[in-house]
Amino acid sequence: MSGHEQDPPAELSLAGSVVDKAIEYMMGQNVPPVAIASALLGGSIALLSRTLDDNAICGILNNAIASVRSGELRGHQHS
């Protein structure tokens, strides 16, 4: 196993960068964080629904819920 197997795919890095810039822009426009997050979550779920069945989407959402409940996301906050 090489260390490169843990690197995110180029497409994921690009998508992440674009989303980060969009968030920066909206924050600069004084869009409330909850509105930004809600719009991104809604758009993400809509996009997933185009290619995945409901059970797969529920699995992704359940993983996200588990991360929230475990406190895993708290370590990534920029307070």
Asked if residue 56 is part of any domain, the answer here is yes
Report pTM: 0.73
Q: What is the DSSP string of 30-72?
A: T--HHHHHHHHHHHHHHHHHTTS-HHHHHHHHHHHHHHHHHTG
Asked if residue 61 is part of any domain, the answer here is yes
Asked if residue 39 is part of any domain, the answer here is yes
Count of domains for the chain: 1
Asked if residue 32 is part of any domain, the answer here is yes
Asked if residue 21 is part of any domain, the answer here is yes
Per-residue confidence at 1, pLDDT binned at 50, 70, 90?
very low
Asked if residue 23 is part of any domain, the answer here is yes
Q: What's the start-to-end Cα distance of the chain, in Å?
A: 36
Asked if residue 4 is part of any domain, the answer here is no
Asked if residue 70 is part of any domain, the answer here is yes
pLDDT single digits (tens) 40-74: 999 999 999 999 999 999 999 999 999 999 999 88
Q: Which helix (DSSP H) or strand (DSSP E) does residue 20 occupy?
A: helix 10-28
Per-residue confidence at 78, pLDDT binned at 50, 70, 90?
low
Domain span holding position 18 = 12-76
Q: Has residue 4 got a pLDDT over 90?
A: no
